[in-house]
Amino acid sequence: MTAAAAALRENGRDVIALSQGEPDFDTPREVQSAGIAAIREGKTRYTPVAGVKPLREAIRQKLLRDNSLDYDIEQITVGCGAKQVVFNALFASLDPGDEVIIPTPCWVSYPDMVRLAGGEPVPAACHEHFGFKLKPSDLEAAITPRTKWLMLNSPNNPTGAVYSKDELAELAGVLRRHNHVHVLADDIYEKLVYGVPFATIAEAAPDLVDRTLTINGVSKSSAMTGWRLGYGAGPKVLIKAMNTVQGQTSSHTSSISQYAAIVAVAGKQDHIADFVSDFRNRRDLLVEKINQATGLSCRTPDGAFYVFVNCTGVMGKSTPQGKVIGTDMDFAMYLLEEFGVAVVPGSGFMASPYIRISYASSIEDLQRACGRIHEACEALTGSESINEQCTTVA
């Protein structure tokens, strides 16, 4: 959708892109300076595959300070973004036919990464009326003898759902009955929460730490998406295998990014409060405006920077050009082509009929986009919604 928006812009169209998960803030100045210093000091050569020791030590201290997780340095690996760390773990651990439980809605790459690694993704639907969170009973029902991993992403992309420590403890209660199931905790949005505490499952259930890979990074918390740096902490045997995979693929992430990330992880965190404050204001504006649009509704997310919009109320209606809106993709393309607003259809996140709107854009762009979305909804005519309830698709 971002590429489609860019193509329209190249043809002179005014398009507001609310499709990409990227903070619009600059990387903090002290982090920039650390990257520049690394270049000037000649820290531009190969590094250990797992990452330079000062960075891994900074990550070790961060996990102890923020998450009460006590790892040694050999249990930590650094990759080219959290996405690569996720893939390395799956590629290093999955045998053909192994199953990975993925609560849906989920980040679009999870199922394909599982398939690329030879595994089978097993969607576990998380419904809107339960806050888009996995229920223990649904987790229990999804586990089979072939289950290798449960993937947990909190705060969640695309819904913004945040699991409480108690909710994680309940899921852990199920996992204790199934010793063969490991947990991949994708915590990349950890710092972007609004009035709720963050918890990760190894913290909520310390006895599962030897079955858990905790993944994080600097992309979202320090506006460093282009620097490509994520990290993982977990059992030594898994980290060693992941390093073997990485050693034969990318080797290591950029040395410059690594030295800059030391400051991002261990340095001042003052910018995060500013990020969160701005994002909260944008979230509140977007939620209010979307819930005023005919046929649309959304929950107020507790974390990340997305609103997951239920568009059941526009299904079955017709555009001014006579096209029937039958899917969330139809609605997303209608918004893009006719009104110049780029969003992402929920089907990409294995949930329909929804759209994901990113509020990692300026207040001005969000206000203009909401005006266009209201106009688009008002322009639809015809039958009432063809569905009264949302359905989640596998």
Between vectors from CA 27 to CA 242 and to CA 17, what angle results, nearest 5°?
90
- The answer to whether the CB of 194 falls within 8 A of the CB of 302 is yes
Residue 367 in domain = yes
Residues 243 and 330 in one domain: no
Q: Please report, to the nearest 10 degrees, the dihedral formed by the alpha carbons of residues 284, 285, 291, 297 taken in order.
A: -60
Residues 147 and 90 in one domain: yes
Burial of residue 263, with CB atoms counted within 10 A of its CB: 0-12 exposed, 13-18 middle, 19 or more buried: buried
Give the C-alpha separation, 347 to 147, whole Å: 24
Residue 110 in domain = yes
Residues 115 and 44 in one domain: yes
Partners of residue 177 on adjacent β-strands: none
Give the C-alpha separation, 131 to 140, whole Å: 19
Report how many domains make up the chain. 2
Cis peptide before 235 (omega within 30 of 0): no
Residue 394 in domain = no
Q: Please report, to the nearest 10 degrees, the dihedral formed by the alpha carbons of residues 253, 246, 145, 200 taken in order.
A: -20
- Residue 367 region by backbone torsions, left for phi larger than 0, else alpha for psi between -120 and 50, else beta: alpha
Which residue stretches of 179-269 are H helix?
201-204, 236-247, 255-266
Instruction: Identify the pLDDT of residue 383.
Output: 67
Give the C-alpha separation, 344 to 375, whole Å: 19
Instruction: Identify the pLDDT of residue 138.
Output: 98
- CB half-sphere exposure, 163, CA atoms < 13 A: 28
Residue 217 in domain = yes
Comparing CA positions, the residue from 181, 199, 178 lying closest to residue 190 is: 199
Residues 243 and 376 in one domain: no
Residues 331 and 235 in one domain: no
Which residues of the chain fall short of a pLDDT of 70?
A: 383-394
Residues 199 and 184 in one domain: yes
Q: Please report, to the nearest 10 degrees, the dihedral formed by the alpha carbons of residues 229, 356, 113, 265 taken in order.
A: 20
Instruction: Identify the pLDDT of residue 385.
Output: 43
Residue 388 in domain = no
Residues 176 and 130 in one domain: yes
Partners of residue 164 on adjacent β-strands: none
Residue 391 in domain = no
Burial of residue 241, with CB atoms counted within 10 A of its CB: 0-12 exposed, 13-18 middle, 19 or more buried: middle
Of 233, 266, 299, the one marking the end of a domain is 266
Return the CATH number at 249: 3.40.640.10
Residues 281 and 178 in one domain: no
Residues 230 and 278 in one domain: no
Q: Which helix or strand (DSSP H or E) is residue 297 part of? A: strand 297-298
Give the C-alpha separation, 110 to 19, whole Å: 18
- The answer to whether the CB of 100 falls within 8 A of the CB of 87 is no
Tokens of 152: 């947990």
Residues 262 and 276 in one domain: no
Domain that holds residue 200: 29-266
Burial of residue 150, with CB atoms counted within 10 A of its CB: 0-12 exposed, 13-18 middle, 19 or more buried: buried
β strands within 37-166, DSSP E: 76-79, 99-104, 120-125, 147-153
Residues 278 and 343 in one domain: yes
Could you count the other beta carbons within 10 Å of the beta carbon of residue 59? 26
What's the DSSP call for residue 352? B
Residues 182 and 49 in one domain: yes
Of 247, 266, 285, the one marking the end of a domain is 266
Distances (CA, A) of 43 to 18, 33, 40, 49: 37, 14, 8, 15
Backbone angles phi, psi at 32, to 5 degrees: -55, -45
Residue for token pair 């030295």: 259
Of 221, 237, 266, the one marking the end of a domain is 266
The SS3 call for residue 214 is strand
Return the CATH number at 13: 3.90.1150.10
